[in-house]
């Protein structure tokens, strides 16, 4: 918890009863829209709790829980694992851990900082990585059983910097909470992956005209311990499988693929929900229809096509589509949440990353006044398709006090991030709210 917080009561109230907290803090006479101004007593309460004046308090929107109170008082559990940084643990069984935004400042995410998302029990490391076998069968003319060593010898090796993102990234922004690990912004990384194009391997197997979809299987054991139950088996449309950036990979950042990240071999479908990028890959079954394995049914990895009622226990899953390309997102990576700046600081230099699934990032904008005004950042081109894009910019701050630094991105189709999670769904996919970082400029 940042050092400048003095009391805790309102944090707990916002966590337990945000409606009541807003009623106490924001002037309800402005009407039911909950976008009113801070009441005099509310501003005094917040100022006392933070221990500093709230810059641009007159623009703080009602109903948008101030970031100073939104994260509660519970200290995060940090990962303790050889070869890994202190990621934030979201789940122990299976192991799930996200990377804080301030640890994602590298243009290429180091292995130790890359997020972890498992669905079953982590397999033991392969004794002989090159002897690991993968089967390609189904709607193919020449089924293959090929080792990793044979893949390396038979097919052209390629390396790309590709972003990989958990389908549930941003889930914690949904209200009411959706099921699953409560990811904030850290279910993403952009590594240099080396392997062979999946399309080249499928061509070698000879795709039949009936081939439409892939189905993936892996060596991780189901949490139940039942070896006959797949932990997760998702797939993609054949067009995505044949994209030259869709890879069977065996190296990550120039080193053999670590076991924790799916070694010795995995799939990488950049820009799409990471669950499709099967770790510990053992089989690709080519199907003549959409795959229906674990993780492909009901509300799993699906987003609504029309808005539904948030929290509805009878949410209509028939009006949902498979989550494929991930939505546009951006993060501030060079300023840590809760960071202090010295007195007389009047401009804060910022940089970070932005990405947009199958699309590119068109613009990135920054705000220090709760979105009342926005300043354009400079956005660099990706080093290759599906790599995230670096942005740089700065914000001027008129005085000392508490600020929230906001960033939002817009993709090449014109879609932007929002101030609140849109299209609530039971499993919590697609929430791409502004990244908000709280800072204090000392008096």
Does residue 84 form part of some domain?
no
* pLDDT at residue number 441: 95
Does residue 4 form part of some domain?
no
308 in the same domain as 188: yes
Total number of domains constituting the chain: 3
C-alpha to C-alpha distance for 30 and 215, rounded to whole angstroms: 54
380 in the same domain as 281: no
Phi, psi of 219 (to 5 degrees): -95, -5
The H or E element containing residue 201 is helix 198-205
Does residue 1 form part of some domain?
no
Closest CA to 329 of 90, 167, 96: 167
188 in the same domain as 136: yes
C-alpha to C-alpha distance for 395 and 380, rounded to whole angstroms: 18
* pLDDT at residue number 26: 55
* pLDDT at residue number 13: 56
* pLDDT at residue number 54: 86
185 in the same domain as 308: yes
Does residue 190 form part of some domain?
yes
Question: What's the whole-model pTM score?
Answer: 0.91
Does residue 377 form part of some domain?
yes
Domain holding 220: CATH number?
A: 3.90.420.10
Please check whether residue 75 is in contact with residue 81, taking contact to mean a CB–CB distance below 8 angstroms.
Answer: no
Does residue 131 form part of some domain?
yes
Domain holding 392: CATH number?
A: 2.60.40.650
Range of the domain at 277: 94-322
236 in the same domain as 107: yes
304 in the same domain as 217: yes
256 in the same domain as 174: yes
Does residue 79 form part of some domain?
no
Contacts of 256 (CB under 8 A, 6+ apart): 129, 250, 263, 264
C-alpha to C-alpha distance for 385 and 378, rounded to whole angstroms: 18
166 in the same domain as 233: yes
* pLDDT at residue number 35: 44
Please check whether residue 420 is in contact with residue 173, taking contact to mean a CB–CB distance below 8 angstroms.
Answer: yes
197 in the same domain as 291: yes
Q: How far apart are the first and last CA of the chain?
A: 20
302 in the same domain as 281: yes
* pLDDT at residue number 14: 54
Q: Considering 264, 292, 322, which residue would you say is the last residue of a domain?
A: 322
* pLDDT at residue number 45: 72
* pLDDT at residue number 7: 39
214 in the same domain as 287: yes
The H or E element containing residue 282 is strand 281-287
262 in the same domain as 123: yes
Q: Considering 301, 322, 343, which residue would you say is the last residue of a domain?
A: 322
Q: Considering 38, 70, 102, which residue would you say is the last residue of a domain?
A: 70
C-alpha to C-alpha distance for 377 and 396, rounded to whole angstroms: 13
Does residue 273 form part of some domain?
yes
Q: pLDDT 10s digit of each residue in the chain, 443 long?
A: 344 443 344 455 555 665 566 555 555 444 433 445 556 666 777 777 777 888 888 887 766 666 666 655 578 999 999 999 999 999 999 999 999 999 999 999 999 999 999 999 999 999 999 999 999 999 999 999 999 999 999 999 999 999 999 999 999 999 899 999 999 999 999 999 999 999 999 999 999 999 999 999 999 999 999 999 999 999 999 999 999 999 999 999 999 999 999 999 999 999 999 999 999 999 999 999 999 999 999 999 999 999 989 999 889 999 999 999 999 999 999 999 999 999 999 999 999 999 999 999 999 999 999 999 999 999 999 999 999 999 999 999 999 999 999 999 999 999 999 988 999 999 999 999 999 999 999 99
């Amino acid at each position: 918890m940042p050092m400048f917080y003095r009391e805790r009561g309102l944090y707990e109230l916002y966590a337990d009863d945000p409606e009541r907290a807003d009623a106490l803090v924001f002037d309800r006479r402005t009407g039911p829209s909950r976008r009113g101004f801070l009441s005099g007593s509310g501003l005094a309460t917040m100022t006392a709790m933070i221990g500093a004046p709230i810059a641009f308090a007159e623009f703080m929107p009602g109903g948008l829980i101030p970031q100073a109170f939104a994260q509660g008082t519970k200290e995060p559990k940090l990962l303790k694992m050889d070869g890994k940084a202190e990621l934030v643990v979201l789940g122990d069984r299976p192991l799930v851990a996200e990377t804080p935004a301030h640890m994602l400042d590298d243009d290429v995410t180091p292995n130790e900082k890359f997020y972890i998302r498992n669905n079953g029990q982590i397999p033991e490391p392969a004794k002989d990585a090159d002897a690991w076998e993968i089967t390609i069968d189904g709607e193919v003319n020449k089924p293959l059983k090929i080792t990793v060593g044979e893949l390396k010898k038979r097919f052209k090796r390629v390396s790309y910097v590709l972003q990989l993102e958990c389908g549930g990234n941003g889930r914690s922004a949904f209200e009411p909470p959706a099921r699953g690990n409560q990811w904030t912004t850290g279910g993403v990384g952009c590594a240099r992956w080396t392997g062979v194009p999946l399309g080249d391997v499928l061509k070698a197997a000879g795709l039949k005209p009936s081939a439409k979809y892939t189905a993936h299987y892996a060596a991780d054991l189901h949490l139940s311990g039942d070896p006959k139950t797949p932990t997760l088996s998702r797939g993609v449309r054949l067009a995505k499988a044949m994209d030259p950036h869709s890879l069977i990979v065996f190296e990550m950042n120039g080193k053999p693929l670590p076991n924790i990240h799916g070694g010795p071999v995995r799939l990488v479908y950049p820009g799409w929900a990471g669950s499709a990028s099967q770790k510990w890959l053992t089989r690709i079954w080519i199907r003549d229809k959409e795959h229906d394995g674990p993780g492909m049914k009901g509300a799993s990895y699906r987003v609504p096509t029309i808005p539904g009622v948030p929290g509805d226990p009878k949410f209509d899953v028939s009006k949902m589509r498979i989550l494929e390309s991930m939505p546009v997102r951006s993060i501030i990576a060079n300023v840590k949440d809760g960071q202090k700046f010295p007195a007389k600081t009047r401009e804060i230099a910022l940089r970070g990353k932005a990405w947009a699934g199958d699309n590119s990032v068109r613009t990135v904008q920054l705000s220090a006044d709760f979105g009342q005004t926005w300043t354009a950042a400079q956005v660099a081109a990706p080093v290759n398709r599906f790599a995230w894009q670096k942005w740089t910019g700065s914000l001027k701050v008129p005085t000392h006090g508490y600020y929230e630094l906001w960033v939002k991105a817009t993709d090449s189709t014109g879609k932007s991030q929002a101030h609140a999670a849109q299209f609530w769904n039971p499993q919590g996919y697609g929430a791409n709210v502004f990244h908000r970082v709280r800072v204090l400029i000392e008096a």
